[in-house]
A and B are shown apart, each in its own frame.
Chain A
Amino acid sequence: NAGVTQTPKFRVLKTGQSMTLLCAQDMNHEYMYWYRQDPGMGLRLIHYSVGEGTTAKGEVPDGYNVSRLKKQNFLLGLESAAPSQTSVYFCASKDRVSETQYFGPGTRLLVL
Chain B
Amino acid sequence: RKEVEQDPGPFNVPEGATVAFNCTYSNSASQSFFWYRQDCRKEPKLLMSVYSSGNEDGRFTAQLNRASQYISLLIRDSKLSDSATYLCVVKGAGSYQLTFGKGTKLSVIP
Number of interface residues of B (CB under 8 A): 17
The interface stretch among A11-19, A38-46, A65-73, A75-83 is A38-46
B102 x A90 contact (CB < 8 A): no
What 1/0 mask marks residues of chain B from 1 to 37 whose CB sits below 8 Å from any chain A CB? 0000000000000000000000000000000101000
**Contact across chains for B44 and A43 when beta carbons are under 8 A apart:** yes
| Residue of B43, B87, B98 touching A104 (CB-CB under 8 A) | B43
Interface centre among A50, A100, A104 (most CB of B within 10 A): A100
A50 to chain B: closest residue by CB: B96
Tell me, rounded to whole Å, the shortest Cβ–Cβ distance linking B102 to chain A. 4
A50 to B103, CA, bound (A): 26
| A12-50 vs B, Cβ < 8 Å mask (1 yes, 0 no) | 000000000000000000010100000011111100101
Nearest to A42 among chain B residues (CB) is B102
B43 touches which of A31, A41, A45, A106 (Cβ 8 Å): A106
Closest to B8 in A: A40
- Interface band, chain A: 20 to 34
Assembled-state Cα–Cα distance A41/B87 (Å): 12
Q: Are B97 and A48 in contact (CB under 8 A)?
A: yes
CB within 8 Å for A41 and B97 given contacts A99-B34, A99-B91, A103-B45: no
Q: Given A100-B46, A105-B43, are A43 and B87 also a contact pair (CB < 8 Å)?
A: yes
Q: CA of A106 to CA of B45 in the docked complex: distance in angstroms?
A: 12
Contacts of B91 in A (CB 8 A): 99
Q: How far is the CB of A39 from chain B (nearest CB, A)?
A: 10
Bound complex: CA of A40 vs CA of B101, how far in Å? 10
Identify the B interface with A (CB < 8 A). Answer: 32, 34, 42-46, 49, 87, 91, 96-98, 100-103
**A contact set with B: CB distance below 8 Å:** 31, 33, 40-45, 48, 50, 56, 58, 90, 99-101, 103-106
